[in-house]
């Protein structure tokens, strides 16, 4: 079973659950000493370090045990009652630690919740009174954030696990509602302050001043064509030095960074079905529709139009469900 902090959650086998927009994976590696009936090949001793890296925000919630997370050669510990928020496209390595201080065993359980960034952006812009900068895009910064739960976050996590693991009518709609609640819980608690502090600290401690100036320019001109020559002038570097420094600082090329940011803004705007894909393409500084579609599909796996149709369908189902509940 899962101990202590999440005592109300029954024992669950390692398994991945999918809704139409999110994925929840449960991982359970019990101590061999705690296995009573039969053999279990999925025990603590069989756990191997793993790397998490996706195009979505990944929330890692520790249910039992302690895990060390490695990111860019830095290590931090996460234990029961804590979560790690991993920004999109960032590679984080998970390493189990021996002997849980609470249960005195090597039980290890955690969940990984993958959340599309557009769900976070849309939820906050629609329901939260908290101001959001950068074209309504919520920024988690470049580094993973370790967050301690309060009671409301704990209850929201338990509710999500229940919804994912129990098949029922309109399951996807209920999962969406619970996911939005969890997002708002995070941004309305001290977790939000920690996210903002960490983001500001990254810019202050890690970002090359020249690259920081470039990022500011990209943010202010995301709706316009942005040339590499302009960015190299701002950074006062040669093109080769600029590409190398940018990559070393942010672990992504300048072109990929601009495209990624524009895709995030595009997803936020595509939710407005009154706007056409063509309008959004040119609003974001793209000169060719085919290139915009190709870039969007690279990051999201579907075309902008398919994304817009999908969002329209989801909103329609949510409105219908809301009306039925009222």
Q: How far apart are CA 277 and CA 159, in angstroms?
A: 36
Closest CA to 114 of 50, 21, 14: 21
Q: Tens digit of pLDDT for each residue in 147-161?
A: 888 888 888 888 888
Nearest-5° angle of CA 110, CA 59, CA 140? 150
Tell me how far apart the alpha carbons of residues 198 and 166 are, in angstroms, rounded to a whole number.
Answer: 36
Highest mean pLDDT of the ranges 52-61, 135-144, 242-251? 52-61
Distance CA 29, CA 40 (A): 9
223 CB neighbour count, 10 Å cutoff:
13
Report the distance separating Cα 247 and Cα 252, nearest Å: 5
All residues at 6 or more sequence positions from 167 whose CB lies less than 8 Å from its CB, including other chains:
none
pLDDT of amino acid 289:
92
Q: Convert 227-263 to b/e letters by CB count within 10 Å (16 or more is b).
A: eeeebbebbebeeeebbebbeebbebebebbbbbbbb
Mean pLDDT of 213-218: 89
Question: Percentage of the chain with pLDDT > 90?
Answer: 6
Residue 176 neighbours by CB under 8 Å, 6+ apart: 19, 21, 119, 314, 318
Q: Is 236 left (phi over 0), alpha (psi -120 to 50) or beta?
A: left
Is the pLDDT score of 40 beyond 50?
A: no
pLDDT of 249 strictly over 90 = no
Q: Among candidates 108, 106, 195, which has minimal Cα distance to 145?
A: 195
Please state the domain extents for the chain.
4-201, 206-310
For residue 203, the Cα-to-chain-centroid distance in whole angstroms is: 20
At 232, is the pLDDT very low, low, confident or very high (cuts 50, 70, 90)? very high
Q: What is the assigned CATH class of domain 206-310? A: mainly alpha
pLDDT of residue 136: 39
Tell me the pTM.
0.54
What the block records as the tokens of 188 is: 């309305």
Nearest to 124 by CA among 75, 173, 65, 195: 195
Distance CA 206, CA 198 (A): 11
The answer on pLDDT for 110 being more than 60 is yes
**DSSP β-bridge partners for residue 319:** none
4-201: CATH class: mainly beta
The pLDDT mean for the chain works out to 75
Query: Mean pLDDT across the stretch 65-73?
Result: 81
CB 285 within 8 A of CB 138: no
């Amino acid at each position: 079973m899962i101990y202590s902090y999440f005592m109300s959650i029954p024992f669950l086998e390692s398994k991945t659950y999918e809704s139409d927009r999110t994925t929840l994976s449960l991982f359970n590696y019990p101590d061999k000493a705690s296995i009573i009936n039969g053999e279990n090949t999925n025990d603590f001793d069989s756990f191997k370090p793993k790397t998490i890296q996706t195009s979505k925000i990944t929330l890692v919630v520790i249910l039992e045990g302690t895990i060390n997370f490695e990111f860019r050669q830095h290590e931090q510990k996460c234990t029961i009652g804590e979560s790690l928020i991993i920004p999109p496209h960032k590679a984080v390595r998970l390493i189990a630690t021996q002997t849980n201080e609470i249960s005195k065993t090597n039980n290890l359980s955690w969940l990984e919740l993958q959340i599309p960034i557009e769900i976070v952006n849309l939820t906050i812009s629609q329901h939260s009174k908290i101001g959001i900068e950068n074209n309504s895009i919520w920024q988690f910064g470049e580094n993973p954030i370790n967050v301690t739960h309060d009671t409301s976050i704990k209850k929201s996590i338990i509710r999500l696990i229940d919804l994912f693991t129990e098949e029922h009518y309109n399951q996807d709609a209920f999962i969406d509602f619970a996911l939005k609640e969890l997002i708002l819980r995070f941004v309305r608690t001290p977790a939000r302050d920690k996210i903002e502090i960490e983001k500001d600290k990254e810019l202050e401690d890690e970002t090359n001043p020249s690259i920081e100036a470039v990022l500011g320019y990209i943010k202010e001109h995301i709706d316009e064509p942005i040339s590499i020559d302009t960015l190299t002038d701002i950074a006062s570097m040669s093109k080769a030095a600029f590409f190398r420094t940018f990559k070393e600082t942010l672990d992504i090329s300048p072109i990929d960074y601009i495209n990624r940011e524009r895709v995030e803004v595009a997803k936020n705007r595509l939710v407005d079905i009154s706007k056409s894909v063509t309008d959004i393409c040119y609003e974001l500084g793209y000169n060719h529709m085919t290139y915009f579609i190709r870039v969007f599909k690279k990051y999201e796996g579907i075309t902008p139009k398919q994304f817009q149709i999908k969002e329209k369908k989801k909103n329609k189902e949510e409105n219908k469900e809301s009306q039925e509940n009222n």
